[in-house]
Structure 1
Amino acid sequence: MNSSVRSGRDASALLRLVSSHFSSESFNSSSFFLSYMALSFGGDIEIILSTFHFWYTHFLKVIFMPRFEIDVDPCDHLTADAIGKPGQRVFYLQAYQEQRTITVIIEKAQLNSLAIGIEQFLAQINEQNPNLTEASGDYVEDVMRINPPVDPLFRVGEIGLGYDKDRDLVVLFVKEILTEEDDPETGAVIRFWATRTQVRMLARWGVEVVSRGRPICPQCGQPMEPEGHFCPKKNGHLH
């Protein structure tokens, strides 16, 4: 390997060389910085690698870390709810732990899918652990209602489920939705650790919350507005 690069004119060659020492993700985001170092240090590759390694370790690596990670472990309470009129509702997922309230925004379809996924996931857990008692899904509506402060930390993009057999706890993890310009590794993450009963209550209540929206037109399958519905199956006639 050449130990030096003569000038800034060879910056592209230097960048290709340095890229082999670091992940492509961090390298691509740092090409400008490397070009600057190539000019500043006259192309001395050893100095450049050493300097870049220090910079990457102390500064760049932070860029690719999540904005924040929160573990609500364990949840004292876990619920979901919607606020607003049918057709304009905003859906939330919320957990309490002692004096802390954690709230995020989810989509109606996400809540519906989560409810279905929880039931399937719990069925798998019971199948693999036949000695476990069945989790109850009975809930009290007033208890499951979302409580203030409704101050969401972010809008959810990804949802997943896991199970800690030793603790008999389900972990519901959500990740922040990002724009196309954002690095996917920087999305904030929250993990809600809850009992099987808590997540089953969430699932059963979630189905109820979703069903309280606009009624579905039996003809076209689209939501019907309170003031009337222009159904394409009826040639757009209001009914």
Structure 2
Amino acid sequence: MPTRVHEFVWPDRVVIGTIGVPGARTFYLQVRAGKALVSIALEKQQSTLLAEKIDEILDQLITVDGNPFSIPTGTPLELVDNEPLEAVQEQFRTGTMSLGWDPTTAQIVIEAHPLAEEDLDPDADDNAFLEDTDDDSEMLRVSMPVGTARAFAMRTREVVGAGRPTCPLCGYPVDADGHSCTIPES
């Protein structure tokens, strides 16, 4: 089967956002260029790691001797996007992701592939949607300039941080209806 590639080069918008309340949020990577809009679901941990790794790549590029790229050390204020997600129609749930640097365009490149059937628990009821279909496989490829990448990483950290507070004793999230934990013995 051919792979259907949703490719965005110099997108108008690329953000992480959520739908739902803390503790029951679904995270989305949403990309728009013109009228083309793609939203893919991903895990909170994937969002966190994506922001961390984008900043790591950009920070490493700053330290390269003779670096011909103008990499911002902070987030350009004019690129900050605090708007909510646009109409979300989930294209797929993300499994494998890759992140890289394209020196020919001076852009961060994100690739996301759907969660593979073998990645899911075969006994879980949630797998019912994986009926045998002849649909082509899909992937999302987004190339974004360095300033946009810094703004993306900043927003992602803010979105992730807006979830449930963390218990100072055990480190697990505190639910709205309470929390009980056991303090680890020393």
TM-score with structure 2 setting the length: 0.80
Q: Does 1:119 align with 2:69?
A: no
Residue in structure 2 matching 1:132, options 59, 69, 72: 69
- Cα distance change on mapping 1:222 and 1:149 into 2, 3 Å: same
CA contact (8 A) 2:79 2:151 kept: no
- Cα distance change on mapping 1:138 and 1:227 into 2, 3 Å: farther
Matching residue of 2:116: 178
Matching residue of 1:92: 28
Q: CA deviation at 1:154?
A: 0.3
Structure with more of its chain in strand, by fraction: 2
C-alpha separation in 2, matches of 1:215 and 1:82: 16
CA contact (8 A) 1:214 1:224 kept: yes
| 1:4-15 pair list within 5 angstroms | none
Q: Does 1:75 align with 2:11?
A: yes
C-alpha separation in 2, matches of 1:72 and 1:132: 21
Which stretches of structure 1, 4 residues or more, deviate above 4 A after TM superposition?
139-142
Deviation string, structure 1 residues 137-188 (Cα, Å, up to 9, x no partner): 1457983333321111001111112222122122111111111199xxx742
CA contact (8 A) 2:19 2:25 kept: yes
Residue in structure 1 matching 2:101, options 143, 163, 169: 163
Larger radius of gyration: 1
Amino acid in the other structure paired with 2:98: G
Identity level (%): 26
- Cα distance change on mapping 1:80 and 1:110 into 2, 3 Å: same
| 1:1-239 pair list within 5 angstroms | 62=1, 65-66=2-3, 68-128=4-64, 130-135=67-72, 136-139=74-77, 143-180=81-118, 187-233=137-183
Matching residue of 1:45: none
Which structure's relative contact order is higher, taking Cα pairs within 8 Å and 6+ residues apart?
2
Q: Which runs of 5+ in 1 are unaligned?
A: 1-61, 235-239
Structure with more of its chain in helix, by fraction: 1
TM-score with structure 1 setting the length: 0.64
